[in-house]
Structure 1
């Protein structure tokens, strides 16, 4: 049995390129704490930092066949990968916050109490329509609409094909729209005649 702790990083990378899964455990043991510290410093959230490190290690494994260290040490590569993944997470957070702030601001500035109540009822209907979706379809829809993930990101996260994700999103949109057609027509009629 190999003693991976004795191997240099370049040797580990070569073994990893040949598909040796135990190498990932050694890389994990060697660099987990350091990677987590870097991610936490940037993200200021333990759960996001852990997810960031897992994503980097997962991507390293996915790229293993073409991965090589020329001049860069593995620890430096992992630090850069954590930095880049952290930026991706921060950008996603920012987009979600902007979406949420834009929605709230519009609702606060332009809705009368009656319209706010109607909007609240419509949101309850939407939430109910979402909860009636099949579990997998519901999960895909929530990841897309509430977390802002792309079809490709959802496919990777749930280990599904991108086409399956797109099918789930299409079904979710169709089912939710079908459930809301009547209530939307009633609300629009009410708003129109209240002017």
Structure 2
């Protein structure tokens, strides 16, 4: 069995072309902490930073057969790759924030008529009933997120849950609420769309 610790970066790149996954493990062991530090410094979020590093390493592995180092060291290449992937994540985060800020479900609804006011009230009541029917923990997470504006991390700390558990509760709440209000939402928005 080859001990890749004794080889330099250029040799590792050559071995990587052969498809030996242990080379990727060695690159991971050598550069994980540095890559994570660079990503975290740019993103300010550990979970996103870890995802960023994993994405870069996956791309490196996918490109292994064509990958080569000209003058740069592997560390410099990985730092640039982390920077670029961080920019992609920041750009995606920015676009999602803009989309969320610009979305207003009642902006399209003209509440000039009593019928529309009644429909909007009914929709609000149906949403409230859907929230009320959620399991207790799920309802609490949803309320802290939507009504108090807490982040996933803040909710996890406040309720002593993992962030993944909080995300699961939010996903379930959104799905249940959407399923419980789907028919009425369709009734409200289809006539408005075709006006």
TM surpasses 0.5? yes
1:32 positional shift: 0.2
Deviation digits for residues 5-45 of structure 1, max 9, x if unmatched? 11000000000011111000100000000000000000000
Question: 5 Å matches for 1:184-195?
Answer: 184=185, 186-187=187-188
Question: 5 Å matches for 1:1-195?
Answer: 1-104=1-104, 107=106, 116-120=120-124, 180=182, 183-184=184-185, 186-187=187-188
Q: Which consecutive residues of structure 2, in runs of 5 or more, have no partner in the other structure?
A: 112-116, 132-177
* CA 1:48–1:184: 2 relative to 1, 3 Å: closer
2-structure distance, mates of 1:121, 1:190: 20
1:72 positional shift: 1.0
More helix per residue: 1 or 2?
1
Deviation digits for residues 131-187 of structure 1, max 9, x if unmatched? xxxxxxxxxxxxxxxxxxxxxxxxxxxxxxxxxxxxxxxxxxxxx9xx95x535643
Q: Which consecutive residues of structure 1, in runs of 5 or more, have no partner in the other structure?
A: 128-175
1:100 positional shift: 0.4
* CA 1:91–1:115: 2 relative to 1, 3 Å: farther
| Contact kept? 2:42, 2:86, Cα under 8 Å | yes
Deviation digits for residues 104-133 of structure 1, max 9, x if unmatched? 4x6479776756545546879xx9xxxxxx
Report the number of matched residues.
140
Moved over 2 A (4+): 106-124, 182-191
With structure 2 as the length reference, what TM-score do the two structures score? 0.60
Larger radius of gyration: 2
Superposition CA RMSD, Å: 3.5
With structure 1 as the length reference, what TM-score do the two structures score? 0.60
